[in-house]
Each structure stands twice: as structure tokens, then as C-alpha cells.
């Protein structure tokens, strides 16, 4: 049997390249029209007072800033991942300015994060970035185990993946610590809620 960690590494390499190629093929104009607000079946799962965890997307990832603006306007508190240092566990802290992003600073992994003064929050719902997903909710991340570890500690949190359609795969070699998604949203489809 193939070692899942070896199989995951090779799948990550392949999916990183596919994600990069797909992201490069989308014009800025089209990109600006995508992921403006979650589809209605997902909104039904998100209580009006829910703290919503998002991510500050890198150039190849499904953009999440449209959802940040949408949830902020709808009265939700927003949170983004942050790390005291790259070796520390991931936490979420409040993101107060989704329109100007003036509250964010440069963080680990080349990603913007809330400043050290931002209030730490536990999101009720998180929208998670990913490299790969299956139509039954399995998720492959960057390989840091950040989301899996955070979700293992926060079992009540609803987790929704955001992805390009090109990140769908038939199978992910999951391990016992991998936590499945409750739904995945792409520019053309909603998988789940499961
Ligand atoms: N936008 C975003 N924020 C996030 C994550 C993520 O995947 N995306 N994370 C998810 O856990 C956490 C940060 N963890 C990370 C772990 C590893 C790498 C990483 O290996 N990056 C590659 C570049 C990837 C690429 O070019 O596509 C690298 O640095 O070589 C990045 C983030 C929290 N915040
Ligand atoms: N709940 C956990 N407790 C301890 N270690 C964990 C846990 N979840 C994952 N890990 C460790 O994190 C590392 C990366 O895990 P994995 O390959 O599943 O990452 P990933 O799901 O791709 O990444 P991420 O969750 O950051 O998006 C592995 O060494 C794994 O053992």
C-alpha cells in the first residue's frame, strides 16, 4: 500500500501546478465577478450572529475578499488566520476592514494577517482554502496541518471549502487526522452540504 503522506506530497505538487495554471487563465475582470456571496443553501446554515472565518487568498487561490465584504455588510464579525510565529498553532483574529485591509500586516508564509492587537476569535463557520477536494468533502491542504489541528480543537465549527472547479479530484489519500468539509463552493457549483 502506498504511504498516504507520500501520495499526498505528489498530489499536492500536481494540484499546485493545476491551480496556478487555472488562476493564470482567468482575467481580472472575470475574477472580480466570482465568489461575491455564498449560494443560498450555505447561507441557510450560517446564523445571523455567526463569526465568519475567512482567509487572505494568495494569487492562485479562490478569492475570499468578496465574501469578507459581503459578510461584513451583513453584520457578521470576520476573522482571519494568524500565527504568533510560523511554528505556533494557527489562531483566528478579528479582521475589521475588509474594504481597505488597513488592519492587516505581513505575516508568515507571505500572507497578510491581523495585527497582534486584533482580538482573537473562534469562528462559528470557516471558509477554508485548499489544494484539492473530492465530491464527498475530503480536503487536501498545503501540508502544514494547520486547519486539521485547529478543527480538531474546534469541533463545533462548520467548515466550507472554497476552490476552483479544477481542484476537484476523484480521491484523496486521507489519514485519520484529516477533517472533512461540510460543503465546497466553486464558481460553478456547490458540493454538499453533506
Ligand atoms: N490564503 C491562505 N491562508 C492560509 C493558509 C492557506 O493555505 N491559504 N493556510 C493553510 O494551512 C494557513 C497558512 N499555512 C500555510 C502552509 C503552507 C504554505 C505553503 O506551503 N505555501 C507554499 C506556496 C504555495 C503556492 O505557491 O501555491 C510555499 O510557501 O512554498 C502556505 C500557507 C493559514 N492561512
Ligand atoms: N489533529 C492533529 N494533531 C496533530 N498533528 C496533526 C493533526 N492534524 C494534522 N497533523 C499533522 O500535520 C501534518 C500535515 O497534515 P496534512 O498532510 O493532513 O495537512 P493538510 O491537511 O494538507 O494541511 P492543512 O490542514 O494545513 O491545510 C502531518 O504531519 C500531520 O500528522
4-191: in CATH 3.40.47.10:
no
- Residue 12 assigned as binding residue: yes
Strands 190-191, 183-185: parallel, antiparallel or unpaired by DSSP?
antiparallel
- What is the pLDDT averaged over residues 86-108? 96
Choose between 86 and 137: higher pLDDT.
Answer: 137
Decide whether any atom of ligand 1 lies within 6 Å of the 90 Cβ.
Answer: yes
Q: Mean pLDDT, the chain, as a whole number?
A: 96
**String of b and e for 124-153 (b: at least 16 CB within 10 Å)?**
bbbbbbbbbbbeebbbbbeeeebbeebbee
- Could you tell me the pTM of the whole model? 0.96
Index of the ligand 2 atom closest to the CA of residue 147: 25
Please give the pLDDT value at position 90.
96
Index of the ligand 1 atom closest to the CA of residue 146: 11
- Please report, for the chain, the start and end positions of each structural domain, with discontinuous segments joined by +: 4-191
Burial class (CB in 10 A: 0-12, 13-18, 19+), 65: middle
The Cα 111–Cα 104 span in angstroms is 10
pLDDT 10s digits, 36-58: 999 999 999 999 999 999 999 99
User: For residue 6, how far is its CA from the centre of ligand 2 (angstroms)?
Assistant: 13
ipTM exceeding 0.90, yes/no: yes
Here the contacts of 20-25 (C-beta below 8 Å, separation 24 or greater) are 20/60, 22/60, 22/164, 22/166, 23/59, 23/60, 23/61, 23/164
> 121 near 51, Cβ under 8 Å?
yes
CA atoms within 13 A on the CB side of 24: 6
pLDDT 10s digits, 60-83: 999 999 999 999 999 999 999 999
**Residue ranges of E strands in 20-96:** 52-53, 78-82, 91-94
pLDDT band at 114 (very low <50, low <70, confident <90, very high): very high
Instruction: Read off the C-alpha cell for 3.
Output: 504511504
User: For residue 5, how far is its CA from the centre of ligand 2 (angstroms)?
Assistant: 10
Kindly tell me if the per-residue pLDDT of 85 is higher than 90. Answer: no
Amino acid at each position: 500500500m502506498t504511504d498516504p503522506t507520500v501520495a499526498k506530497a505528489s498530489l499536492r505538487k500536481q494540484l499546485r501546478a493545476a491551480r496556478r495554471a487555472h488562476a493564470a487563465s482567468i482575467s481580472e475582470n472575470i475574477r472580480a465577478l466570482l465568489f461575491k456571496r455564498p449560494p443560498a443553501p450555505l447561507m441557510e446554515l450560517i446564523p445571523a450572529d455567526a463569526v465568519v472565518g475567512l482567509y487572505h487568498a494568495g494569487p492562485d487561490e479562490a478569492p475570499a475578499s468578496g465574501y469578507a465584504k459581503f459578510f461584513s455588510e451583513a453584520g457578521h464579525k470576520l476573522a482571519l488566520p494568524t500565527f504568533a510565529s510560523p511554528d505556533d498553532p494557527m489562531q483566528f483574529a478579528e479582521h475589521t476592514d475588509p474594504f481597505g485591509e488597513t488592519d492587516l500586516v505581513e505575516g508568515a508564509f507571505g500572507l497578510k494577517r491581523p495585527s497582534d492587537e486584533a482580538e482573537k476569535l473562534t469562528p462559528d463557520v470557516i471558509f477554508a482554502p485548499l489544494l484539492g477536494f473530492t465530491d464527498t468533502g475530503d480536503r487536501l491542504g498545503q501540508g502544514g496541518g494547520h486547519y486539521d489541528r485547529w478543527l480538531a480543537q474546534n469541533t463545533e465549527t462548520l467548515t466550507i471549502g472554497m476552490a476552483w472547479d479544477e481542484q476537484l479530484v476523484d480521491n484523496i489519500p486521507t489519514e485519520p487526522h484529516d477533517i472533512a468539509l461540510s460543503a465546497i463552493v466553486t464558481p460553478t457549483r456547490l458540493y454538499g452540504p453533506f
